[in-house]
Amino acid sequence: MVFGSVTSSPLGSLSPEQALELAKVYLDNYHKAKDADVALVLYHDTKTSLSQAKKKALKNSKNPAVIAGIAAVYIDLGKALENRGHGIESEESYRKAEKLG
């Protein structure tokens, strides 16, 4: 998809750093979302971006700073989910962070 001179790319074409940055943007908006349905979409987008970042970081770059950043966002996501009353999902997020170190 093209917007002026900016081309929207599929998530798979992003670097681990870019996917991590996108996850942070989604998570920030998740925190701000007042509508539960919007929050659910943003949660899913955050989770998808983190998964892509993790997969690429562990496979290709193995950059410790990126991996630590991914773990930190998983922790932040876990806290946000916990605050919204989603205990099972928050525990899943915390486990993923723990596996990354």
Domain interval for residue 53:
2-100
Please tell me the distance from the alpha carbon of residue 73 to that of residue 40, in angstroms, as a whole number: 17
- Label residue 1 by pLDDT band (50, 70, 90): very low
pLDDT of residue 3: 42
H or E element, residue 84: none
In this prediction, what percent of the chain has a pLDDT beyond 90? 73
| pTM score of the predicted model | 0.83
Return mean pLDDT, the chain. Answer: 88
Beta strands at 6-7 and 2-3: parallel, antiparallel or unpaired: antiparallel
Q: What is the pLDDT of residues 30-65, one digit of tens each?
A: 999 999 999 999 999 999 999 999 998 888 767 889
- Structural domain count, the chain: 1
Which tops the pLDDT comparison, 5 or 34?
34
